[in-house]
Amino acid sequence: MPWWRGLPDLPRGAQGALDGSGWGIQGRSERSGEHDAGCRVAATSPSTGRTLLVSERIVAIDEIAVMFVAGDRARPIPEQAPLAFATLEGKLTTLRGRRFYGVVVDAQYRACVAIRPEDYAIALPHPTWVIPGGKFARQKLTHWEQHLHLIDQTMLQMRERADFDASRYCIEYYRSRRELLLMVPVL
């Protein structure tokens, strides 16, 4: 069963952080170079030996105000995502400095971009929404463009956690062309 099945269709949230930078690590600082005791390599590429998946960390994020493009529910999620992102990116003046997210809402993929304060000075080209914040288990997938097949598999595995919160959404945060953060809500 795909990871997005059974996720709730939550009501639209209240206004959230406009800068999309509401990322916080519980415990030690991520920038200090310190690691959680359980942080280890979870998977490596057999051909290159590069790290692909890093074990889970618990993070807390603020809600994120976004513009989004919704996919076509009649299509499978793997087909919805690239089409939604192409439409989303097509109306942005620049992709530089933007924060991109993917969220599945009631079997519909939403390609999202965090709203920046300067975006309010112009008419927004897409509908807006707020990605609910809270506590999440996070796993980093490196070189994700070459390993798209690992996204669904990893989300399914993470949703098996005993503390998984099925009342909130799972989030993909496209941190860069090399790094994707997969997050599932936890209690």
State residue 183's pLDDT score.
Answer: 92
Residue 103 has pLDDT above 50, yes or no: yes
pLDDT attached to residue 167: 92
The pair of structure tokens assigned to 40 is: 């280890």
Q: Is 179 a residue whose pLDDT tops 70?
A: yes
What's residue 115's pLDDT?
Answer: 92
pTM for this predicted structure? 0.71
CA dist 60 → 48, 103, 129, 143, 156 (Å): 33, 17, 19, 24, 20
Question: In angstroms, rounded to a whole number, what is the distance separating the alpha carbons of residues 94 and 72?
Answer: 25
Check residue 51 and report its DSSP letter.
E
pLDDT at 180: 87
Tell me the pLDDT tens digit for each residue of 110-169: 999 999 888 875 678 889 999 999 999 999 988 777 777 788 888 888 889 999 999 999
CATH architecture of 23-185: Alpha-Beta Barrel (3.20)
pLDDT at 152: 81
Query: Which run of H or of E encompasses 151?
Result: helix 149-158
Q: What is the pLDDT of residues 78-93, one digit of tens each?
A: 899 999 999 999 988 7
The pLDDT of residue 101: 96
When the pLDDT of each residue in the chain is averaged and rounded to a whole number, the result is 75
Higher-confidence residue of 182 and 121: namely 182
pLDDT tens-digit profile of 15-71?
Answer: 233 233 333 333 333 332 323 333 334 555 555 555 555 667 899 999 999 999 999
